[in-house]
Homo-oligomer: A and B are copies of this chain.
Amino acid sequence: MNLQRLLAPRSIAVVGASPDRGKLAGRPLAYLDDYGFSGTVFAVNPKYQTIGRFSCVAAIDELPDGVDLALILVPAPDVASALDACGRRKIPFAISIASGFAEAGETERQVELQEICGRRDIRLIGPNCVGMIVPAGAVTATFSTELRNRLPKPGATALITQSGALGNSLLQSFNAHDVGLRAWISTGNEADLDVIALAEQLVADVDTRVVALFVEGFKDGIRLMPLAREARRQGKAIVVLRAGRSDQGRVASVSHTGKLAGATRVWRGLVRQGGLIEVSSLDEMLDLLIAYEALGAPRQHEPDGLGVLTISGGLGVLIADEAAERGLPMPRFTQPTVSGLRALLPPTMSVANPVDTALFTTEDGYVRCAELVLEDSGIGTLLLVLTSLAHNYTRLMPWLIELAHRARASGRHLAITFLSSSDQLRADQQLALAGAGALVLPSAERCVAALAQRLAARPADVPAAAVPKGSEAGGATSVAARAGVPEPAQQICHTLEEATAFAEGVGYPVALKVVSVDIPHKTEVGGVALGIADPEALGRAWGNMERAVRARSPSARIDGYQVQEMVTEAVELIVGCSHDREFGPVLMLGWGGIFTEVVDDVAFLALPATRPEIAQALEKLRVAKLLAGARGRPAADTQAAIDAVLRLSNVFLTTPGLVELDVNPLLVRPRGRGVVAVDLLAIFASDLPAASDQGQPR
């Protein structure tokens, strides 16, 4: 699929267009007229010969060749036949805005559209959506009310939203802040094209720099991680606002769209793995997009140091806190900066970063302080906190514009905010500064958040994850064997001599367990002994167990006594592979044993995952300190653990019918001594009740 003809159609047909601009079905044509779409437009409506300056045909079949996009405005019951007609006419793309499909319980009606798309080789946006806008070509295939006001200016930010209303609200804000838009696509019910398919195309689009998504759940989440890796390689940010992060939100989401968002922990893991930039509110998303618009995409080695000039020392401290929490350093100034500031400020004032100029400086002095900080070699961004208390905004404006230009020319940035929410520059002044490349936001903490999040999308060298080749089926034991992960040595023995010989071979300590199908709860009859340290102890344990079992389960048939190697000095991990409903195969990795439950120290990754992704996930866990050798313990064989995790997940991905694979604990021995999988559990689809749809691969 190539969306270039969707984003830049030569010709658009509006099916069911109305000449009445006041009606919803009249708007798209009116917008195409008003904003001057450069291609050809056809209306389709049997009642008219022309609508405005556009020619009108009676039926889709009568459209000429070369129509790239059909905007279908007819109501739900008529969409299927219109889409089918578009397909017959070889139109490659269609948009349906009608509601009354899956969101209203009319699932079959939506499945029909999906089938037509497949059969006719036509790609559909919607139904139940608000349409699409591409300002660069004045492509206004939408009924969005915001276009009554203004078409956003062309730009590098692509916006894809499942919700039409939220998308429209973001469009309003794009206009208010004069943020440039590459395209807005509202995906609605996603009968065919979904958020990820569209994002893939926009990541590949040369004119797109950042792709912002509002999603309530991914239709085909397994494609998210490859998309994220590709975006990072290209240095394009993917910003995601995801609704349904909490149980309360998921309940609300199901009743809204019928989509069930996946578990929060899986989502958080994927955000980290893929380097996605997650925001938690519309304001936060908008602030970040404004920062992208004003400052451009971050360069790979762009300096991240923040220098701050404020008239309130108290606010300076708050900014330093916020920057620390967001991971933005505020470096000490270099000596030339310190000397320069010292000459400008009263001797009792501190010249550290943040600089508190209080009310002591003249306007010239203030300007000079700012210039000094911006020239400091450790500073990437200068943040000015303005207040009408101290600054004459009108007099400062020309200089601020010049400073913004100068910052941009030297590869640095200027950010501007205000002491108080009732202390802002006028809207036209803010737009002028944004136009000169300065970031202007209403509060210091919003500035700091947007600056930090923008830097999180630096381009990175990201290897692709290899999808392993398919393999043959097998049981739980062969799973461990194929993964090449050793299990503890064990043997069923029938005499103490046999047991002692085996224990000598594997080394003490060992565990001893009675083997009998008649004894389900071994511990209760004295049938388990752990930590047996030497031959004498083994002899005693053997004797005690024989007596205890005979006394308490006199009728049980004893098939022998299992002697098992006990691994000491090991760190316990938990490794689980399963199928997430939303994101497909996922890996859970964490601190194992009893700590899984108590410490809750686990991370999730989408599969296939790369070796660096697994290593990074492991590094961020608390158990990493134990693996590294906390409190004088030996460092563990972390490399062997990562190898085992990779091999286990590859076996999981390539074994047909395997729906879950768990190892808990995976014992990681001291460096050089490898790992042991103690309890390996493999669940096959055939093990599950037939009616269940839990954990089925998708």
Contact = CB atoms under 8 A, between A and B. Distances in A.
Contact of A623 (B281, B354, B598): B598
B420 A256 contact: no
Interface string A128-172: 000000000000000001000000000000000111011011101
A429 interface: no
Interface in A303-334: 311-325, 329-330
A105 interface: yes
A55 interface: no
A302 B287 CA distance: 36
Contacts of A631: 594, 597
Nearest to A318: B243
A173 B325 contact: no
B252 A168 contact: no
A229 to B, nearest CB: 27
Given A256-B350, A321-B244, A356-B256, A419 B281 contact: no
Chain A interface bracket (under 10, 10 to 19, 20 to 34, 35 or more): 35 or more
A162 B594 contact: no
Contact of A348 (B104, B166, B319, B358): B104
Interface string A239-272: 0010111111101110111000000000000000
A245 B321 contact: yes
A421 B283 contact: yes
Nearest to A146: B389
Interface string A93-131: 000000010011100000000000000000000000000
A626 interface: yes
Nearest to A284: B445
Query: In this complex, which of A253, A316, A330, A422 has the most chain B Cβ atoms within 10 angstroms of its Cβ?
Result: A422
A207 interface: no
A612 to B, nearest CB: 24
A214 interface: yes
A299 interface: no
A216 interface: yes
A388 B175 CA distance: 15
A315 B166 contact: yes
A286 interface: yes
B445 A283 contact: yes
Interface string A369-395: 000000000000000000101000000
A443 interface: yes
Interface string A70-85: 0000000000000000
A625 interface: yes
A313 B188 CA distance: 12
A317 B215 CA distance: 10
B323 A173 contact: no
A600 interface: yes
A423 interface: yes
Given A173-B421, A252-B319, 9 more contacts: A103-B348, A165-B314, A245-B321, A248-B330, A252-B317, A255-B352, A256-B356, A282-B443, A598-B623
Q: Which 5 residue pairs across A and B have the least CB separation, nearest first?
A: A163-B314, A246-B324, A104-B348, A256-B313, A243-B317
20 contacts: A163-B312, A165-B314, A165-B387, A165-B389, A166-B312, A169-B315, A170-B420, A173-B420, A173-B421, A173-B422, A246-B321, A246-B324, A248-B330, A249-B324, A252-B316, A256-B317, A280-B322, A282-B421, A598-B623, A598-B625
